[in-house]
A and B are shown apart, each in its own frame.
Chain A
Amino acid sequence: MKQDNLLEVKNLTTRFKLDDGILTAVDGISFEVGRNQTVGIVGESGCGKSVTSFSILQLVAPPGKVAEGEIIFDGQDLLKLSKKEMRKIRGKKISMIFQEPMTSLNPVYTIGNQIDEMTKLHLGLDKQAAKEHTIELLRAVKIPSPEQRYHEYPHQLSGGMRQRVMIAMALACNPEMLICDEPTTALDVTVQAQILRLIDELKQKNNMSVMIITHDLAVISEVADKVIVMYAGRIVEESDEKDIFTKPLHPYTEALLKSIPSNAQRGEKLFMIDGMVPNLLKENKGCMFAPRCQYAQPHCFETEPELKTVGDGRKVRCHLRGEGEE
């Protein structure tokens, strides 16, 4: 199965040098994304999920820096590439969709112009061919009357339409991998469902790998084949899509699932995770989740647990789960 992995992230650590100290946003995470697989990364704000995706594309802005690790994409370590070589991969082989469709499109260029730019650069198309290609893409993401939309500016489109344009742009060069950072968070539920379905359809059609980053467990459960739960810059649980929602292993995953209102009975008190996410600027001892964990034991505060493989293909970072346990 090893050669089937399109992307392998090994021991990735990204740090930000701030005035008040060094913040380790992503702390030694490793995971794989298989070909034609959808991997979902869930976590609350500040858990490092977005920084992970920025690190893969090497878009981490200073004072942030990828400090350690390897990012092996298609047999090549992206961290060893020069800026010029990286530019050839970014947008062509790995594309990204951002959360805010309004701020990630340039307001002073037409939609057509912005997508043409990509194909001219990466695929070397001429003006006419680029236009045809763009209209084809707009049609593929189901934008009505694409010929007309081609000449419009981002502000003339609704939020859902803009996100479709973003997807069209991301797909312009037939990437092998698509990273979606909170692709539907700014959208309404009916539009969210349309966009998620679209991403899934395009993934099947173009034989892509997809990495979806979101804080919404329900979105992940609808689309992902593999789920990674992050907390405080670390992976705390990794599992197939089905098991994790019915039998969560890590207390944090369990607590997250329990605190969703639609999982609760009316009149019953909602499950609460006490306290807050730890301050990553400070030196933290022991398990990062221990102060908020309802099962915490004395030794949880002393040593940090390893990410262990438990059962078939599931991984969990918790002292309470033994090796080989189901």
Chain B
Amino acid sequence: MRFSYPSLVLLLVIGALPLATTSPYHLTVAGLALIFVILAQGTNLILGTAGQASFAHTAFFGLGAYTTAVLSTRFNFPLWATLPIALVLVYVVGSLLAYPALRVKGFYLALVTLAVSEIFTAVVGEMPGPLGGTEGIAGIPPFTFGEWSADDRLSKFYVVWVGAVLACISIERLHASHFGRVARSLRDSETGASAVGINLVTAKVRVFAVSAVYMGFAGVLYAHFMQYISPTSFGLNITILVVSMVVIGGLGNTLGVLVGALTLSLLPQWTRDYVGLEPLLYGGLLVVIILLLPEGVVPALRDMLRPRRRTEKSS
């Protein structure tokens, strides 16, 4: 199976966390970091790999979360039913949204998709019925598979960890597949892509919808992991945070996005003593990375190590 070793090592280290601590707090932080990994990988697919400036990811994240939350709390649907329903719904909505949204490019696409995210949270917040309005939905059941239920924090953490591993493996497989080649061709030259017979509209819609599925998957995991959701979980701050994870790690680089997502998810743990300064730290880090390492941290590190390896070989 094609999967980069550094990604595997990072995920194994996170998976081994319970050997060091079983504190519910630490496991919650680590579980959320893994959910952000999935969200960032999905965002990277459309933003980094295919080069489409889409910022609708939190809407799909929220759609996945709300779908499973409503179905499981109001209709007692089990996870094996809510998960596929949520993913199919996100794919369909993603496809339908992509057709009009992808008629515009660059800055305009960014604005349209950002508006979609904002409209989603506004609409959900204004619907108190089954969606819970601003109060959200509480009492979402934990992950349940048949007779087994992830009632404790450790079990929930491992379900999310398995989800993140599957998402990372599948996204790397996608990158190496025909789908990935097509997505990358869209970013670099639409004329070149047309010249090799790629239908630009179909290709963009597919990439948009598939990336939405990853975000929806992250949403499903989030809902059953936290067992509570509200519109604030899917606000503009999450949109900006996820884009920062992708940009800092390295646009289009799956390992970079993994590193970026883990770093920015865990950063608040080291800056807890400086309450209120987090936005400044995020912003500052983002500005520094964009100015000094515009391709992201991981691609920059890879480029720095490459000549050294050659020198070592030749010496």
A and B associate: no
Residues of B within 8 A of A (CB): none
